[in-house]
Chains A and B, each alone.
Chain A
Amino acid sequence: MNRTIPAIAAAALLVVIAGTANAQWPAYPSRDVPRTRDGAVDLEAPAPRTAEGRVDFTGIWAARFGGGGGGGRGGPPGANNNQAPSDSPPVASFGEVGRGITGGAPYTYLAREVKEKRMARGMQDNPDAHCLPMGHMQFHLHPQPRKMIQTEDVIVLLYEGNAGIRQIFLDGRPSPDNDPLPWWYGYSTGHWEGDELVVVTTHMKDDGWLDVNGSPFTSTGTLTERFRRPTFGSLEIDVTIEDPAAYTEPFTVRVNQRIMVDTNLIEFVCIENEQSSEYYD
Chain B
Amino acid sequence: MKSLLISIAAAATSLLGIAAYSHHSFASQFDRDQQVEFTGTVTNSEWSNPHARFYVTAADPDLEDDSPVSWNIELVSANVLMRQGWRHDTLNVGDIVTVTATRARADPHVVNASTVIRDSGEQLFRRNANQINQ
Contact = CB atoms under 8 A, between A and B. Distances in A.
Interface in A34-60: none
B132 A9 contact: no
B51 interface: yes
Contacts of A95: 133
Contacts of A272: 48-50
Interface string B65-99: 00000001010010110111111000000000010
A276 B77 contact: no
A169 interface: no
Nearest to A23: B83
Interface in A250-275: 266-270, 272-275
Contacts of B77: 144, 268
Contacts of B28: 121-124, 129, 276, 279-280
Central interface residue in A12, A95, A143, by most chain B CB within 10 Å: A12
Contacts of B21: 69-70, 143
Contacts, number: 175
Central interface residue in A1, A142, A143, A267, by most chain B CB within 10 Å: A143
Contact of A16 (B83, B107, B126): B126
A70 B22 CA distance: 9
B75 to A, nearest CB: 11
A12 B114 CA distance: 11
B63 interface: no
A17 B123 CA distance: 12
Interface residues of B, number: 57
Given A1-B1, A12-B126, A67-B17, A25 B131 contact: no
Contacts of A144: 77, 79-80, 134
Interface string A51-92: 000000000000001011111110000000000000000000
A20 B126 contact: yes
B128 A16 contact: yes
B8 to A, nearest CB: 4
A7 interface: yes
B96 to A, nearest CB: 12
Contacts of A29: none
Nearest to B12: A16
Nearest to A63: B133
A74 to B, nearest CB: 9
Given A11-B121, A129-B24, A273 B46 contact: yes
Contacts of B87: 24
B50 A21 contact: no
12 contacts: A12-B12, A17-B12, A65-B132, A69-B133, A71-B27, A122-B27, A128-B24, A144-B77, A144-B134, A212-B133, A268-B79, A274-B50
Q: What are the 7 closest A-B residue pairs judged by CB atoms, nearest first? A: A70-B19, A122-B28, A69-B133, A273-B48, A123-B25, A124-B28, A129-B24
